[in-house]
Amino acid sequence: MASFKKKILILSTVHKNLVKNLKKKKLYFKYCPNPNKRRLHFEIKDAYIIILRSGIKIDQNLIFKSKNLKYIIRAGSGLDNIDIKTAKKRNIKVFSLPNLNSQSVAELGFGLLISASRNIIKADRELKKNFWNKPNLYGYELKNKTIGIIGLGNIGIKVAKIAKNFSMNVLAYVKNKSKKRSINTKTVSLVQLFKNSDFIIFNVPLNKGTANLLNKKNSKFLRPNAVIVNLSRGGVINENTLYSLLKKRKIFAAASDVFLNEGKQNKLFKLDNMISTPHIGAMSYDAQKLIAKKTFDKICRLLKWNYPIILSILSITLYDKILISFLKLLVILISGLSGYSALISLPTILLLVFL
């Protein structure tokens, strides 16, 4: 029961159900989404569990400031905003909750792809200024076109399935070609994918092997009508290269939900053939509700909460040290009674105390 005093620190905006469940079970938590540096340094000192999404970085400095930290839960996929090596040295376990938002991310990817290929955002902006510019808003259909998918993880596979429903030809670039996947797709080299794709979607994590995957050197293989969508992380596509491609009209359009320095201005935002969104791939009610549930379940397992139903029914005041000591003493006394120790369980003892 001592686990219920351990501080749970929530550093990102989460679905209301997570906060509701934490309150309902009388767990000790602090909800301070997107705190400033001073607040973050203060709150992390006594945190036992940290919950965060993208946008908050847990670096070496913060980890060393956290004296009681045992667990970090990334409420989503990707661990690039957490210093894994330092956490491991401090015996802090790091968890992610992947695959829960993959449908939302894949659907956003196709929304961006269609918007970019048909100039939807540009048309909307112009019309709101009473500027009817139909002749300059030509775009491309998806049917019978080729889409190149970089990364065939959970998101990539869902993108491929959507693409096939649009009657598109699908190519994929993957690191592990021998891995069995739930969809049959032709795999090619990155250069072959660039040469043969009308649409390209990036769905890979950011690491040493994927940084600047699209760069100045290989960008020359892209088609002039290419539409590029980035659902990965900022840094997977070299932003200077992308800016040059769009500015010089060497590709048709691009869209990105991720950027190298998120929360700051970017020269890409000024281009009329570029669509930018603030990392909203997982921001659907459906995905966030599911993530909230799985995060709460994970917290309960980490705190080894074995009797949540009985404790809830009896409304035990978990912070009452005297009551807890009394229960422990009662367990010892009853367990010591000859002939009864094998028959009496913790739930039975709790019922005897409160009836």
Q: Which helix (H) or strand (E) holds 286?
A: helix 285-302
Residues facing residue 71 across a β-bridge: 49, 93
How many of the other CB atoms lie within 10 Å of CB of 24? 11
Q: Residue written as tokens 């894994």?
A: 84
Tell me if 191 sits within 8 A of 140, measured CB to CB. Answer: no
Which of 107, 126, 223, 262 is catalytic? The answer is 262
Q: Taking Cα atoms as reference points, which of 136, 130, 103, 96 lies closest to residue 118? A: 136
Q: Which helix (H) or strand (E) holds 171?
A: strand 169-173
Which of 15, 53, 118, 279 is catalytic? The answer is 279
Contacts of 274 (CB under 8 A, 6+ apart): 246, 253, 254, 255, 256, 268
Tell me if 133 sits within 8 A of 154, measured CB to CB. Answer: no
Residue 128 dihedral angles phi and psi, to the nearest 5°? -70, -15
Contacts of 329 (CB under 8 A, 6+ apart): none
Tell me if 66 sits within 8 A of 89, measured CB to CB. Answer: no
Does residue 262 carry a catalytic annotation? Answer: yes
Contacts of 88 (CB under 8 A, 6+ apart): 94
Does residue 249 carry a catalytic annotation? Answer: no
CA angle, corner 287, sides to 258 and 108, nearest 5?
40
How many of the other CB atoms lie within 10 Å of CB of 26? 14
Does residue 239 carry a catalytic annotation? Answer: no
Which of 15, 53, 74, 233 is catalytic? The answer is 233
How many of the other CB atoms lie within 10 Å of CB of 321? 10
Tell me if 49 sits within 8 A of 92, measured CB to CB. Answer: no
How many of the other CB atoms lie within 10 Å of CB of 49? 25
Tokens of 227: 């539409």
Tokens of 354: 């409160």
Task: Catalogue the active-site residues.
Answer: 233, 262, 279
